Amino acid sequence: MQFVNFFSSIAMPFVILMIVLYAWIEKIKIFDTFLIGAKEGIEIVISIFPTLVGLFLAIGALRSSGILDCLIHFISPILNQFNFPTEIMPLALIRPISGSGSIAVATDIMKNFGVDSPIGLMCAVIMGSTETTLYTIAVYTSSIGIKKTRFILWASLIADFVGIVVSIITCKMLY
């Protein structure tokens, strides 16, 4: 365990040292290259900023409006027919939309049910096997100027749905 702690503490300085040594050997101007990269990074941030503001506004409105609670209440009888735990439903609905929101929901679920409970384990597996789809699509497509995301959105949401269902089935089989 001490080796792992030692290695993790020297890993980043070692990588930086290797970059500096490589640049010195190849006679690359490190600071100029860094400035070019930083300038390109700022341009990307400026180009995707309006998309992020709109997405965060929509997420905040969705979470504070109570729509999620109403939707969960409405579809819980259907989910009970398939033996789908309704306790996971807030996470399943918010995960494709918001990473920070889904972390908050997952933390709340784990506080209520425990991290080692079947619900807590399902929650952890769902967090690891799904993505914040809408955020990822918004950032990547707006940074390169793609306007039509129809097929990307459907494919990503289907992948999230499969990830959630397989996570629940796997956790039920293993635990």
Q: What is the DSSP string of 61-79?
A: HHHHHTHHHHHHHHHHHHH
* Cβ neighbours of 111 (radius 10 Å): 10
Q: Report how far residue 42's alpha carbon sits from residue 35's, in angstroms, rounded to the nearest whole number.
A: 11
4 to 11, 13, 17: CA distances (angstroms)? 10, 15, 20
What is the pLDDT at residue 136? 83
What is the pLDDT at residue 99? 82
What is the pLDDT at residue 119? 93
pLDDT tens string, the chain, 175 residues long: the values are: 687 788 888 999 999 999 999 999 999 998 899 999 999 999 988 887 887 787 778 777 777 888 878 888 898 888 888 888 988 988 998 898 878 778 888 888 999 999 899 999 999 999 999 988 887 888 788 778 887 777 888 888 899 999 999 999 999 898 8
Positive or negative torsion for Cα 132, 135, 138, 140? negative
Per-residue tokens: 145: 């100027």
